Chains A and B, each alone.
Chain A
Amino acid sequence: MKQQEAENAEGAAGKKKKKVTAAQLRVQRDLQELTLGNTMKMSFPNPDDILNFTLTIEPDEGMYKNGTFNFSFAVNQNFPHDPPKVKCLQKIYHPNIDLEGNVCLNILREDWKPVLNLNAVIVGMQFLFLEPNASDPLNKDAAEDLRTTREAFKKNVRSSMIGGTVRGISYQRVLR
């Protein structure tokens, strides 16, 4: 009995030694310094785990106006050496986002640097909806549409957002 008590005490002491990791500390600071504005919201499935969350972008201008776009963010313990992993949770028609939700944003991959923070990433994400970019395509069809006829592309965006079909692919409804 005594022995078990001692072991329990030891277990508690071991647990106590766990320290806030450098990645957690950096995310705590980054979150505090975010500028979300009216067009972005965040949600935390587990508030104690600040390394995993969802970002919702609701553009109030541009071609994707009135849509609601959800992205999962997964930050690992090697942050900020490694960039956060970001995925779009819906199937959307966008030249820089593929049907699996992969996002082509330079600072999420080849141009990531530890001096960048989460705010830089979400600003970049928001920009993708204001200025979709045909020269860095992940969804080749969408990029081609944008390059050739901007008006037709706009139309496709609208019909994809109400859950319609573009070039034989049906998209998820994302209208607010």
Chain B
Amino acid sequence: MDLDAETPGSPEAPVVDQQGRWKHLYNVLSKPGPYTDEDWAPGSETIQSLESSKILGAGGLGCEILKNLALSGFKDIHVIDMDTIDISNLNRQFLFRQADIGKPKAEVAAAFVQKRVKGVTITPFVGKIQDKDEDYYMQFKIIICGLDSIEARRWINATLISMVDMEDPESLKPLVDGGTEGTSYHPAPLKGRSNLRTGFKGQARVILPTLSSCIECQLDMHAPRPAVPLCTIATIPRQPQHCIEWAHQIAWQEKRKDDPFDSDDMEHISWVYNAAYERAQQFHIHGVTFQMTQGVVKNIIPAIASTNAVIAASTTSEVLKIASSCNPYLDNYMMYAGEEGVYTYTFEAEKKPDCPVCGNLARKMNVDPNMTLGEFIESLGERAESQLKKPSMRTEEKTLYQRFPPQLEESTRPNLKLKLAELLEDGQEIAVSDPAYTIDFRFRLNFN
């Protein structure tokens, strides 16, 4: 590795007492505390089970989480991240050096920590969490995520929930999720409070798929990114940001319609900056800068190292508690606000009975492949387990039958005459909505 020997904290200079390193961890794992479960057996067995637990970490809080996991005694860690290292990461993502710019984060971080902490194996995967399937996720004991988008969180949540097999306790994988404002996920501001996002807030939560409230249950709690009304932007801007939004959303569309905007293209950013600057002058607004332009169009919220550290520490200690049972784990949501001093609040988010993800686990249903879709729909009204009178249904790629609006009903009506075998594959999952129920249903159709 091409590292400057002078760099403080480089893996070439480990001045670590390998025996002393685990002393405090072993203290925690070798004697019960006031909140430990009565049945818990402290000592070597617990330590061993911890060391053999396979953990998966993913996402933007990666550096902190990976370091924390390795120093908490986990020996078999997998990490997924699709990003490469950018110069702007170096101020807080402490596993990366100047020479690493452009290299995949997962690989560099894994190599660094593995070198620094003796005896730990870290397996990196460069790519998206969506590239992996259920078989892959099944091998882990716990999944810990510091993802940077709601979409990715919803995906891993839905995947882990659909993996749960009620007869196999091993199929239930606890999900520990951490996020900060900088990773575009934050609790909705209270009415009247400023919704300016400064990167000082975060949250940690523990999700036991199907047993506790899931990410989809809690979706309403989180505010979408604050937006300025389009008309303010189009007519009377009041802030430099409004001028930038105008240049980005309105001027670009008018002048460069056939040129898709790319926030990584410097020429595009410069164009938006110049247009915004001109508009700001017209309205006597000061403060439009190139940096602000970049921040607004890329929706950059400053990532603050201390917020990341607090959230990563909280999530990793939950993993330690779940894996070793040394103490009760978080039940189930901790919010953190660090703008003025430090404030945390812990509460139990409730499971939503009509949650579209954890409220409707796919049920197996045996069907005759020669039955038509119309006959199948009729049978759904008669089966005791469903009693659906007016269902609409689809697979991931096909609209099987949709009752409303009329145009869609008309184009899906011919499907009613087709046999199930012509529309579906054996074992395929369908999703069914019926106006009589507030909850939707999923069925896995197995051909007789």
CB-CB under 8 A from B404, the residues of chain A are 31-34
Given A16-B427, A29-B433, is A104 in contact with B407 using a C-beta cutoff of 8 Å? no
CB of B235 within 8 Å of the partner chain:
yes
B220–A113 CB distance below 8 A? yes
CB-CB under 8 A from B249, the residues of chain A are 102
A110–B425 CB distance below 8 A? no
CB of B82 within 8 Å of the partner chain:
no
Q: Report A45 CB to chain B, min CB distance, Å.
A: 10
CB of A137 within 8 Å of the partner chain:
yes
A41–B407 CB distance below 8 A? yes
CB of A172 within 8 Å of the partner chain:
no
From B113-121, B272-280, B343-351, B391-399, the one touching the partner chain is B391-399
B356–A42 CB distance below 8 A? no
Q: Report A97 CB to chain B, min CB distance, Å.
A: 10
B133–A32 CB distance below 8 A? no
B394–A21 CB distance below 8 A? no
Given A77-B151, A96-B231, A102-B250, is A24 in contact with B405 using a C-beta cutoff of 8 Å? no
From B60-68, B175-183, B222-230, B284-292, the one touching the partner chain is B222-230
CB interface residues, B 381-411, toward A, < 8 Å: 392-399, 402-405, 407-408, 411
CB of B158 within 8 Å of the partner chain:
yes
Closest to A103 in B: B230
Q: With A and B bound together, what is the CA distance between A40 and B393 in angstroms?
A: 23
CB of B148 within 8 Å of the partner chain:
no
A47–B235 CB distance below 8 A? no
A42–B408 CB distance below 8 A? yes
Given A18-B397, A20-B396, A136-B229, is A47 in contact with B220 using a C-beta cutoff of 8 Å? no
Count of A-B contacts with CB under 8 A?
A: 146
A22–B154 CB distance below 8 A? yes
Q: Number of contact residues on B: which range applies?
A: 35 or more
A32–B403 CB distance below 8 A? yes
CB-CB under 8 A from B134, the residues of chain A are 17
CB-CB under 8 A from B412, the residues of chain A are 47
Give the number of chain A interface residues (Cβ < 8 Å): 52
Q: Using an 8 Å CB-CB cutoff, how does the interface string of A40-82 with B read, 1 for contact, 0 for none?
A: 0111100111100000000000000000000000000110111
CB of A168 within 8 Å of the partner chain:
no
Q: Report A31 CB to chain B, min CB distance, Å.
A: 6
CB of B47 within 8 Å of the partner chain:
no
Q: With A and B bound together, what is the CA distance between A24 and B442 in angstroms?
A: 13
Q: Report B33 CB to chain A, min CB distance, Å.
A: 40
Among B216, B219, B226, B396, point to the contact of A18 (Cβ < 8 A): B396
A16–B428 CB distance below 8 A? yes
Q: Report B99 CB to chain A, min CB distance, Å.
A: 36
Closest to B391 in A: A32
Q: Using an 8 Å CB-CB cutoff, how does the interface string of A6-22 with B read, 1 for contact, 0 for none?
A: 00000010111111111
CB of B144 within 8 Å of the partner chain:
no
CB interface residues, A 81-97, toward B, < 8 Å: 81-83, 96
Q: With A and B bound together, what is the CA distance between A48 and B402 in angstroms?
A: 10
A43–B407 CB distance below 8 A? yes
CB of B253 within 8 Å of the partner chain:
yes
CB of B418 within 8 Å of the partner chain:
no
B395–A20 CB distance below 8 A? yes
CB of A1 within 8 Å of the partner chain:
no
CB-CB under 8 A from B411, the residues of chain A are 44, 47
CB-CB under 8 A from A25, the residues of chain B are 356, 431, 433, 440
Closest 3 CB pairs of A and B: A20-B431, A136-B231, A18-B396
26 A-B residue pairs with CB within 8 Å: A16-B427, A17-B133, A20-B429, A21-B396, A24-B396, A28-B393, A28-B394, A28-B402, A31-B404, A31-B405, A32-B392, A32-B403, A34-B405, A41-B405, A42-B407, A78-B151, A81-B150, A100-B250, A100-B253, A102-B230, A102-B234, A102-B249, A109-B230, A110-B228, A137-B231, A137-B235
